[in-house]
Amino acid sequence: MYKVYEIKQRVFADNDREAEKVREELKKEKTFLLNLMSSPGSGKTTVLGRTISRLKEDLKIGVMEADIDSAVDADTISRTGVKVIQLHTGGMCHLDADMTRQGLQELGTEDVDLAILENVGNLVCPAEFDTGAVKNAMILSVPEGDDKPLKYPLMFKVCHCLLINKTDVLPYFDFDIDACIERALRLNPEMKIIPVSAKTGEGMEEWYRWLREQTEQWIGKKENL
């Protein structure tokens, strides 16, 4: 006789409980945590840099850069003047709730309104693990193709906001933006979708407003953008 142990289900269940604890702590500390996900090369760090520049005068911002190795992104973000730490995952392709908690402890949330986790770059593993973030956002860039909601449905299902980045190169790629939006909304009708160009700034104000509103609702601030 032997017992079958469903380790994957147990891992996810344990992580979900830990994620809820992280959110409870964030609520008490009045810190909003955004989990930002995408493929490598989508423009995630560029979007993040512009976002910090736009909001840092009104919100106290801290950033956790997660990568398998290197500190390239942390070096880039540190030039914005906000508090930033680099998280190395030791070869893992995602962060879970406990790893996020450790990162938040190192970052220090006592003076942070908006904490942003730039997750490891891929559309598979990060979508499977609840980090304890208040909201999930993702970036899909035009060069990646409009079929990504079909190939990676879970990522689109777990995200509250989708930025379709690099719209400035739409004329040069076979990317049907209407089809992409339709596919994403079919998976997640409540998702906020914002076409943007981090390079030119087009569409970014709508993204800033969304993120500012979400943060203020969580931490209790009432100022308008």
Residue in the structure block whose two tokens are 């979900």: 16
What global pTM score does this model have?
A: 0.91
Q: Tell me the pLDDT tens digit for each residue of 184-217.
A: 999 999 999 999 999 999 999 999 999 999 999 9
pLDDT of residue 94: 78
Which residues make beta-bridge pairs with 84?
A: 63
Helix (H) or strand (E) holding 215: helix 204-219
Q: What is residue 90's predicted lDDT score, i.e. its pLDDT?
A: 72
Q: What is the pLDDT along the chain (225 residues), one digit of tens a residue?
A: 655 455 456 778 899 999 999 999 999 999 999 999 999 999 999 999 999 999 999 999 999 998 766 667 788 899 999 999 998 877 677 789 999 999 999 999 999 999 999 999 899 999 999 999 999 999 999 999 999 999 999 999 999 999 999 999 999 999 999 999 999 999 999 999 999 999 999 999 999 999 999 999 999 964 444
In this prediction, residue 177 carries a pLDDT of 98
In a 13 Å sphere around the CA of 212, the CA atoms on its Cβ side amount to: 19
Going by C-alpha positions, the residue among 34, 78, 46, 79 that lies closest to residue 215 is 34
Residue 76: predicted pLDDT: 87
What pLDDT sits at residue 224? 45
Q: What is the pLDDT of residue 225?
A: 43
pLDDT in tens, 111-132: 999 999 999 989 999 999 999 9
Residue type, 122: N
- Do the beta carbons of residue 138 and residue 163 sit within 8 Å? yes
Considering only CA atoms, which of 82, 114, 118, 123 is closest in space to residue 100? Answer: 118
